[in-house]
Amino acid sequence: MEDRYIDRTVGLAAAGKLDEDRALLARLRYISTQLIREAIELKPEAAAWQWEVHTTSDPEVDAICMAGGKILVGSAFVRQLALTDGELATLLAHEVAHVVAEHARETFSEAMLLNRLPAVPLEVVMARLDSDLSLQIRLSKLSSLQESEADQLGMVLAHRAGWAADDMVSFYRKLAASEQSALVSGAYPATASRLSMARGMTLLFDY
């Protein structure tokens, strides 16, 4: 899994598409420091992970995370939604939540089980996760559950880091209004449900 991350970032850097927006990178790293601190409170072993946050101008990237604390955010996506710091914190918290819940490892484990007959090498399964539509469909239920968990856990992390509940709801409202984002694809719960979830979560923060 580390190799996938290295290949991705090296490829983006070679194409001149990694960390060009220094102002956005500074915002992301400042905000993520607060969120990672809260993540470590929830999961102490996360302190040993090599957390990294990068930006890319690749228009195909919204926001993605990889195992061990590797997060990549698309600058075009941030500009498209005109995200404030509070909304950006909600986006980052969602990705940090994926890492804390170790969703990447869970997905790889499930993919390995789906391919156990006949036995398929790990590197082949990793490649198929990006290119095999049938495998992606079989994993779609798990993916949707993971996204719901990351939405909720992410809001908890953002709240604990001191970000306003209104900003969290605003992020999901903007996401629901966006028709081009991968974050509103079939792998995710319906945007109306996510917005409703966000509003419901804010009620818990009032107690």
On whether the CB atoms of residues 81 and 87 are closer than 8 A, the answer is yes
Q: Given this model, what pLDDT does residue 117 score?
A: 47
Find, among 21, 94, 91, 83, the residue nearest to 55 by Cα.
21
More confident residue, 23 or 121: 23
On whether the CB atoms of residues 46 and 23 are closer than 8 A, the answer is no
Domain ranges of the chain: 2-101+139-205, 107-136
DSSP string spanning 41-80? Answer: HH-GGGGGS--EEEEE--TT-SEEEETTTEEEEEHHHHHH
Q: What is the rounded average pLDDT of the residues 39-56? A: 96
**Sequence-ordered strand ranges (E) for the chain:** 52-56, 63-66, 70-74
At 118, the pLDDT band (50, 70, 90 cuts) reads low
The predicted-structure confidence for 49-94, as pLDDT tens digits, reads as follows 999 999 999 999 999 998 889 999 999 999 999 999 999 999 999 9
Q: What is the rounded average pLDDT of the residues 14-26? A: 97
pTM > 0.85: yes or no: yes
Quick one: the chain helix, strand, coil %, rounded to 5?
70, 5, 25
The kind and range of the H/E element at 175 are helix 165-177
Q: Given this model, what pLDDT does residue 140 score?
A: 87
| CA dihedral for 94, 72, 171, 28, sign (positive or negative) | positive
The kind and range of the H/E element at 172 are helix 165-177
The predicted-structure confidence for 149-187, as pLDDT tens digits, reads as follows 999 999 999 999 999 999 999 999 999 888 655 555 556
CA angle in degrees (0–180, nearest 5) for 93-204-162: 40
